[in-house]
């Protein structure tokens, strides 16, 4: 994150974020965050623990997160990104950024199930998410397809899983890559509508990228038919375009168009 000006606001355990989310009347935490480790809080003492969390959130060490939590539920734009790695020793990347008016926040989940929350410029959401995705270098081929993947008009998924499956015509101009050579895959979406549920929005466009073993990173074209080499800067540009589309929609709605 060194190229993006961010300030640490605070940290919160995923299990405690669940309590805060319930405090705001939601039965889910911000997507794509999820509890990956066994809870350290036993069911017998959870109610007492939850009361302590709310006290900490109102007047204790978690108080610094009030503005982050409050602006999240009222955000103009939020960006959700996740990257999953085939290797079992690599923890998935889960990040969420949002903006409201002239304020912006970026949050990421650590391997210890702690959410780190930073403030940043509302115009740096795309760059921050792109920087966090773990891209390494652009792939060496002009374009690739993964025949085992069947790409829909928009990525679909159940829960937090990333899917790019549907039937398409194979593009003979692209190099074919086996699914077994895919080391990582990721999906990023921008949203302007209020949060209604936890998970990928099947009706929204997404930026989807994959990493090919012994090669590099590729991002799928908007029609999801082929993937082309991508750098961090190019990935940020694609995310920024998703954000720009949502910003334009919000402005039209506010003008009554």
Name 95's bridge partners: 81, 108
Give the pLDDT score at 31.
Answer: 94
Question: What's the sign of the alpha-carbon dihedral 115, 97, 132, 201?
Answer: positive
Cβ distance 41 to 157 under 8 Å? no
Q: What is the mean pLDDT of residues 160-174?
A: 56
Partners of residue 188 on adjacent β-strands: 81, 207
Residue 75's pLDDT is 94
Classify residue 141 by burial, with Cβ atoms within 10 Å: 0-12, 13-18, 19+.
middle
- Reply yes or no on whether the pLDDT at 256 is more than 80: no
Q: Is the pLDDT of residue 202 over 90?
A: no
Percent of the chain at pLDDT > 90 equals 68
Q: Mean pLDDT, to the nearest integer, of 149-154?
A: 55
**DSSP character at residue 213:** T
Residue 168 clears pLDDT 70, i.e. is over it: no
Please name every residue paired with 120 in a beta bridge, in sequence order, or none if there are none. Answer: 6, 104
Domain ranges of the chain: 6-132, 144-255
């Amino acid at each position: 994150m060194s190229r993006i000006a961010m300030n640490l606001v605070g940290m919160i355990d995923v299990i405690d974020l669940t309590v805060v989310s319930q405090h705001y009347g939601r039965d889910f935490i911000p997507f794509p965050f999820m509890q990956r480790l066994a809870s350290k809080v036993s069911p017998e003492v959870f109610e007492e623990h939850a009361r302590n969390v709310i006290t900490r959130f109102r007047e204790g060490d978690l108080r610094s997160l009030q503005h982050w939590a409050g602006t999240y539920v009222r955000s103009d734009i939020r960006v959700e990104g996740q990257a999953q790695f085939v290797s079992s020793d690599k923890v998935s990347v889960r990040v969420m950024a949002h903006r409201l008016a002239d304020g912006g926040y970026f949050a990421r989940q650590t391997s210890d199930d702690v959410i780190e929350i930073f403030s940043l410029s509302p115009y740096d959401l795309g760059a921050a998410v792109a920087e966090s995705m773990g891209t390494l270098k652009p792939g060496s081929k002009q374009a690739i397809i993964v025949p085992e993947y069947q790409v829909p008009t928009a990525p679909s998924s159940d829960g937090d899983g990333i899917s790019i499956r549907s039937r398409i015509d194979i593009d003979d101009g692209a190099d074919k890559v086996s699914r077994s050579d895919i080391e990582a895959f990721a999906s990023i979406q921008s949203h302007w509508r209020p949060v209604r549920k936890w998970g990928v929005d099947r009706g929204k466009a997404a930026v989807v990228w994959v990493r090919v073993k012994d090669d590099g990173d590729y991002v799928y074209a908007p029609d999801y038919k082929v993937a082309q080499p991508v750098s961090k800067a190019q990935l940020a540009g694609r995310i920024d375009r998703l954000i720009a589309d949502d910003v334009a929609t919000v402005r039209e709605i506010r003008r009554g168009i």
